[in-house]
A and B are shown apart, each in its own frame.
Chain A
Amino acid sequence: MEIEPVDVSKVCIFPDQGVDRIEGEAIEALKSSCGVPYPDKTEWLTEQAGKGSLLLTTVDAMLSWARRASLWPVICFPACCAFEFVTAEASRFDMSRFGMEIVRASPRQADLLITAGTLTWKMAPQVKRIYDQMAEPKWVIAMGSCGISGGIFQSSYNVVPGYRCLFPVDVYVPGCPPRPEALIYGIQMLHKKISKGTLKQG
């Protein structure tokens, strides 16, 4: 009973051989295309929430409360800030008080990307892919000075100067690594930003 496997080479995404070469080209392509970093939208800091019709504001308020109260971060743990993020998640600083109960491994179930650690060019395509695969609406917290500007390793040949070269960042949390209290303050800033979000720009 020899079962002939269905010929699905059409579906196959990558030939086995040359995987490293393809990965190398992807890194070089991303490295050359990463010219101007994404601008930081900061007008939400000064904006007044709650204009617009009665119905719209209640839907806004309810929606932003639902989104704000259960932000699930995705696993993106390159370096030392990862460990400060884990202690912030652990029992003493307990980020689950803010609804961030579990750290999701796959971007499908996550809506917040906390970039905990230094980003190198070899890891950049992977982080960009994780960000692209996250469902809308999604937010990004750049944690630590490596996430903001490459930090202490900025002059290195293999470090991306800040995550905003890859995708727009909402909140920056300075520190190397930032203490858990600073990270939780950053998350509260993000809650403020979400609560000011309106349906118009989705």
Chain B
Amino acid sequence: MTIALPVTEVTSKLNKELDAGIIDAKDNTILVKSGSLKELISFLKNTPGLDFDYLTDITSVDYWDYFELVYQLTSIKNNHKLTVKTRLAGRENITASSIVSIYKGADLQEREIHDLMGITFEGHPNMKPLILWEGFKGYPLRKDYL
């Protein structure tokens, strides 16, 4: 049974400056500042006890005054899963840090989110349009796309 890892187990292992990045953590979802997102995910992947080696899904949701990026991670070895969220304020040229260097699976998903939602990921090897074509005006999945 893939148990949803209780968050307390993760927060107990965090060291000091990562702990500052956590905004709040309850019932297997960790809300983290977008700045320290990348360190948290590489921490989750590399610590022996947690070793989340499988990135299930990256989603982005447009809540009008902020965008939310939802990372779903699974650990194939210990058979548990966790959700990491981060919030990006603002409407124009929003940037988040890309995690392609940690998970190769994030490559296509980040390009798709860039195409449809307008969130650019720095550090992504080729941020070309994936689903739509060059010269497509607007980001369709945003709530204010007419």
Contacts of B128 in A (CB 8 A): 20
Is B140 interfacial (CB-CB < 8 Å)? yes
The interface residues of chain B lying within 8 Å CB-to-CB of A23 are 133-134
Per the CB 8 Å criterion, the residue count for chain B at the interface is 9
B42 to chain A, nearest CB (A): 32
The B-contacting residues of A in range 2-31, CB under 8 angstroms, are 20-21, 23-25, 27-28
Using Cβ atoms and an 8 Å threshold, which residues of chain B touch A28? 135
Cβ-defined contact, A24 with B135, below 8 A: yes
Chain A contacts with B in 22-47, Cβ cutoff 8 A: 23-25, 27-28
Q: CB-CB < 8 A to B129: which residues of A?
A: 20
A25 to B134, CA, bound (A): 8
Q: Are A157 and B134 in contact (CB under 8 A)?
A: no
The count of residues in chain A whose C-beta lies closer than 8 Å to any C-beta of chain B is 11
In the assembled complex, B132 has its CB within 8 A of some CB on chain A: yes
Q: How far is the CB of B57 from chain A (nearest CB, A)?
A: 22
Q: Does A109 sit within 8 A of B, measured CB to CB?
A: no
What is the distance, in angstroms, from B55's C-beta to the closest C-beta of chain A? 27
CB of A24 within 8 A of CB of B140, answer no
CB distance from A31 to the nearest CB of B (A): 10
* B136 contacts across to A, CB distance below 8 A: 24
Complex contacts, A158 vs chain B, CB 8 Å? 132, 140
Report the nearest A residue to B140, measured CB to CB. A157
A27 to chain B, nearest CB (A): 5
Asked if residues B133 and A122 are in contact (CB atoms below 8 Å), the reply is yes
- Closest residue on chain A to residue B136 by CB atoms: A24
CA distance A157 to B142 in the complex (A): 13
Chain B residue nearest to A121 (CB atoms) is B133
Cβ–Cβ contact A122 & B135, under 8 A: no
Chain A: minimal CB distance from B73 (Å): 31
Q: How far is the CB of A131 from chain B (nearest CB, A)?
A: 20
B132, A21: Cβ atoms under 8 Å?
A: no
- What is the CA–CA distance of A28 and B135 in the complex, to the nearest angstrom? 8
| Beta-carbon contacts under 8 Å, A42-69 to B | none
The distance in angstroms between the C-alpha atoms of A21 and B132, with both chains bound, is 12
Question: Are the CB atoms of B133 and A20 closer together than 8 Å?
Answer: yes
A38→B134 CA distance, assembly (Å): 28
B131 to chain A, nearest CB (A): 9
Nearest first, the 4 A-B pairs at minimum CB distance are: A24-B134, A24-B135, A24-B133, A20-B134
